[in-house]
Amino acid sequence: MDKVMAVLALGLAASIFGVASEAQQLPKSGTITVNSGWKASGETVQVGEGRVFGWGGFYGVTFNTRGSGPLHMGTAVCPYYLDLTGGAGPGGGSCAWTDADGDRIYTQYTGTLAANGVFDGLNQFTGGTGKFSGITGKAPFQCKALSLQGHFGCTQQFEYRLP
C-alpha cells in the first residue's frame, strides 16, 4: 500500500510541476479557447407581467480546446443578474477563472439571453494573478442552455495581452 501511495504522490507531483513549467511559457499575447460546462444556482422574482429579475451564481469547469495549457481542467465562479422580458434580455456579472495551478483571471461580463436559451456576450478582463498578472483583453462567449435546471455549455475565446 505504501508503494501505491508513493507512486500516486509522484504522479501528482509530476502533473503539478508539469502544469507549472508549461505555465511559464505563456506567450505575451494570444488566444486561449476553452469549452466549459456550467450549473446556475439562483432565484428569480416576477416584477411585472412577463418580466423577471434573476440573480445567483454560475459554477463551471473549463477545458482548453488543445487538451492542455492555460485554463485546462480549471474552474470558474460567476455571480450573475438577469432582467428578462418574455424569457429574453440582458444579464451580466463578474467571474473568477482559476487555472489548474491556481492562477486566476478576473472578468466582468455582459450578454443577452435569448428566449431559445442562447446566451452570448463579452467578458472584459479586470485583473489576474500568477502567470496572468497584468492581463488585459477580452473573452467573447457563446452559451447554450442544456436543460431547464440551469445547465449550460459554453465556448470562450480569451484574447489576451500580458505586460
| Per-residue model confidence as pLDDT tens for the chain (163 residues) | 444 334 334 344 434 444 443 445 699 999 999 999 999 999 999 999 999 999 999 999 999 999 999 999 999 999 999 999 999 999 999 999 999 999 999 999 999 999 999 999 999 999 999 999 999 999 999 999 999 999 999 999 999 999 9
DSSP E strands: which ranges in the chain? 29-48, 51-64, 74-85, 89-98, 104-113, 118-128, 136-145, 151-161
Write the DSSP symbol of residue 147.
S
Q: Map out the domains of the chain with their CATH numbers.
A: 2-161 (2.40.350.10)
- The rounded distance, in Å, linking the Cα atoms of 120 and 109 is 10
- The rounded distance, in Å, linking the Cα atoms of 127 and 95 is 11
pTM over cut 0.95 = no
- The rounded distance, in Å, linking the Cα atoms of 94 and 37 is 17
Question: Whose grid coordinates read 472578468?
Answer: 107
* 83 and 53 Cβ atoms separated by less than 8 Å: yes
